Amino acid sequence: MKSQSIGQIALAAAAVAYLIGVYFASSPVWMGFTINALVIAVIAMSWNITGGFGGLSSFGHAALFGTGAYASAVLQVNYGVSAWIGFAAGILAGAAMGAFIGALAFRYGLRGSYFALVTLAFAEVLRICASSFAFTGGGSGLQLKLAPGLANLQFADRTVVYTALLVVVAAVMALTALIKYSRFGAYLIAVRENEDAARALGIDTYRIKVQAMAISGAFGGLAGVLYLQLWLFIDSTVVYGSGISIEALIGPIIGGAGTVWGPLLGTLGLHLLGEGAKHLLPNAPGLNFVLYAVVLICALRFLPQGLVGLAGKIGASKKKKESGDA
């Protein structure tokens, strides 16, 4: 395992301090806002598996998010299944959708922009389907019954919701770290760096990529289920919408794609920025997206490795600098 630079440790510590500080914040607004950011952070972590480690930039991660949310909601609303089973089903459905899209796209060797476009098209097809069929609630969406309690995975107390989300986020980050430092992670990074060379070395790149899509799908489905349990309502324009797909990729890129902390840092940073802008200009819907876009352009130009990469340059040990690793 590589040693982290002082800057990276400080950055992670700042994020943790913020997340703990939310418990003691004077206004409940902070917690509500951070809860939203954490759900988005999970879909960002899902994108990070394929987009960050694998270099497979998806423009349609809403396909995974929405599938998880709809799988759980359809089971709970139409079949009266318990929220826990819906939770598991959402994750599995996300993984299956990820594997399906990956299997189709990679079977025919789609790369780069083609892969980005095909994922976008899948999200769009699913959005239109979900808004057209009766069992998905059509255009009016699906609503869960309000019934707080552990059995229904609904909590009236925001602090409980927040703590549960922190546990989930920590778990997803731990899994990400496991993947990154596993043999599988090394294969995936090899695919990103040079797919032909990886194949020449005997790596079954097709299988690795499909597996990565399945893992990403599981995380994406998880994010969708979290969204559902939080709002108790989903509709196709939101959960299959381009907004989710954009947020999924923008957080990791700004935070640092292919790092464990990047998606969380990027998403938190962006949401803080967006929230601040909302306070300055209250009647400007979509202003946060304008800000995100400006930050994205600047990050692409000036921070190729995101915040984590920038922090890595601060107080890095000599050896690290030489290898240019971030």
Partner 1 sequence: MSSLIIPAVLSGLMMGAVYALVALGLTLIYGVLHIINFAHGSLLMLALYAAYFLWYHLGIDPYLAIPIVLPVFFALGYALQRGLIAPMSSGSEQNVLLITLAVSMIVDNLALYFWTSNTRTADIAYAYDTVEVLGAFLPLGRVIAFCAALAVAPLLWCFMAYTRTGSAIRAVAIEKRGAELVGIDVNHTYAVCFGIGTACVALAACLLLPTFYITPQVGYTFVLVAFTTVVLGGMGSLPGALIAGLLLGVIESLCGLFLGESLGQIGIFLAFILILLFKPSGLLGRAR
Q: Interface with partner 1 by CB under 8 A: which residues?
A: 57, 59, 104-105, 107-108, 110, 112-114, 116-118, 120-122, 124-125, 128-129, 131-132, 242, 246, 249, 253, 284-287, 289-290, 292-294, 296-297, 300-301, 304
Query: Quick one: tokens of 73?
Result: 């909601």
Our CB check for partner 1 shows the closer of 32 and 243 to be: 243
Q: How far is the CB of 118 from partner 1 (least distance, A)?
A: 5
Our CB check for partner 1 shows the closer of 105 and 316 to be: 105
Q: How far is the CB of 162 from partner 1 (least distance, A)?
A: 29
Q: How far is the CB of 187 from partner 1 (least distance, A)?
A: 21
Concatenating the DSSP letter of every residue in 261-312 gives: SHHHHHHHHHHHHHHHHHHHSTT-TTHHHHHHHHHHHHHHHH-TTHHHHHHH
- 221 and 66 in contact (C-beta within 8 Å)? no
Our CB check for partner 1 shows the closer of 33 and 292 to be: 292
Our CB check for partner 1 shows the closer of 290 and 314 to be: 290
Residue 142 host element (H or E): strand 142-143
- 308 and 318 in contact (C-beta within 8 Å)? no
Q: How far is the CB of 113 from partner 1 (least distance, A)?
A: 5
Q: How far is the CB of 16 from partner 1 (least distance, A)?
A: 29
Q: How far is the CB of 108 from partner 1 (least distance, A)?
A: 5
Our CB check for partner 1 shows the closer of 93 and 299 to be: 299
Q: How far is the CB of 260 from partner 1 (least distance, A)?
A: 21
- 75 and 85 in contact (C-beta within 8 Å)? yes
Our CB check for partner 1 shows the closer of 37 and 250 to be: 250
Our CB check for partner 1 shows the closer of 178 and 290 to be: 290
- Name residues whose C-beta falls within 8 Å of residue 295's C-beta, 6 or more positions apart in sequence: 254, 270, 273
Alpha-carbon distance values, 150 to 147, 161, 247 (Å) = 10, 11, 29
The size of the chain, in residues, is: 326
Our CB check for partner 1 shows the closer of 58 and 211 to be: 58
- Name residues whose C-beta falls within 8 Å of residue 137's C-beta, 6 or more positions apart in sequence: 73, 77, 143, 235
Q: How far is the CB of 272 from partner 1 (least distance, A)?
A: 18
- 11 and 308 in contact (C-beta within 8 Å)? yes
- Name residues whose C-beta falls within 8 Å of residue 106's C-beta, 6 or more positions apart in sequence: 206, 209, 210, 213
Alpha carbon 26 to chain centroid, angstroms: 29
